[in-house]
Chain A
Amino acid sequence: MQPELKADQDFDPQEKLYRRYLPEHLTDDGTIRPQSFKPLPRTSVNRERYSSSPEHVLDPGCCEEKDYSGYGVYSFSVKDVSCTIQAEGNGRNHEFYLEHVPLSSCEPHSEVKCREFISKKEIKDASKTAKERFRIKLSQIKIAIECAPN
């Protein structure tokens, strides 16, 4: 029997988060297009602390046993993703936060989620405009290409 993996919610601000990408979602100024994200209810990433390498995110165990070897890998840091955003016109702030959600086949698996800044209530859906703000915010995060697509 496989031991249950323990979630580790201690994220170093400098820790890298890895994600797969398609070449058409990378722009000339080195940003990732908003079309690459579906931020609500969550965005999957792999955390560096439990990854053997950036390419770990391409490992079949982290890809539901599918072959995504043709995809690229980019990274952004924990400190960049932990930001607040005023997504609606009501003046309320929302914040992105990280949660380590290890899977039996993919220990580094983590999720970028969104919650209300004051109540800390998780946001699972929002208006179209708010969702757009969320994903543009994610696309504005500085990224580093770790591995270009084959």
Chain B
Amino acid sequence: MCGKQKCEVRKKLAGLLTKLQRVFKGRIEGEAHDKEAELKMSATMAIPSKLEDQLSKIVGLEANWDSYDAGKPNRVAVDHAREAVMLSERLFPHNIVASAEGGVALCWDQGEKHAYIEFSNDGTAIMAKYEGKNDPCIKEFPPNKQAILEALGEVYPFFPHAA
């Protein structure tokens, strides 16, 4: 092989090497980007530990947990409640409680102001807010993502100083 050919081979090898480096760099950067997105996502999905504990306690309840024949909150209600908590990061509920009607409720409280979004065992949902002895505002809604976000949108302005 003459000097000129060697030089061309070297050039080609160098080019290939650069391409390979670019590919690997891209892959590594891509993976890093994916990991970052994943972390960001898990941070977004994280539920405050107090609420997580309350949900775990609710999952472990048996029928008649209130001593007045309340039904055990079922998987449907718990899953909807968990989804709603994840969607409520602008103002997480202050408490999550089981409902004597059979279901799970996310509750916000500030003095005499109370609001809740309750998911029933039968797959329905309701939002209510009231202050003191005033008439409540009550809305039923299907527990899908859009409707849950709309219900949360009703709750947030009720606690303007909490968000």
List residues of A whose CB falls within 8 A of some B CB. 20, 22, 24-25, 27-29, 31, 33-38, 43-44, 63, 66, 68, 71, 128-129, 131-133, 135-136, 140
Residues of B within 8 A of A24 (CB): 54, 95, 97
Size bin of chain B's contact surface = 20 to 34
Chain B residues within 8 Å of A68, by CB = 67
Contacts of B79 in A (CB 8 A): none
For the complex, give the distance between the alpha carbons of A37 and B69 in Å: 11
> Interface code B89-130, partner A: CB below 8 Å = 1, 0 otherwise?
000000101111100010101011010101000001010101
Q: Are A136 and B136 in contact (CB under 8 A)?
A: yes
Q: Could you tell me the distance in whole angstroms from the C-beta of A28 to the nearest C-beta in chain B?
A: 6
B97 touches A136 (CB 8 A): no
Q: B-side interface residues toward A, CB under 8 Å?
A: 54, 65-70, 95, 97-101, 105, 107, 109, 111-112, 114, 116, 118, 124, 126, 128, 130, 132-133, 136, 138, 140
Contacts of B109 in A (CB 8 A): 27-29
- Once A27-B114, A35-B98 are accepted as A-B contacts, the answer to whether A128 and B126 lie under 8 Å apart by CB is yes
Chain B residue numbers with a CB within 8 Å of A36 are: 66, 100
Contact, CB under 8 Å: B138 / A33:
no
Q: Which residues does chain B contribute within 8 Å of A132, judged by CB atoms?
A: 126, 128, 136, 138
The chain B residue with its CB closest to the CB of A27 is: B109
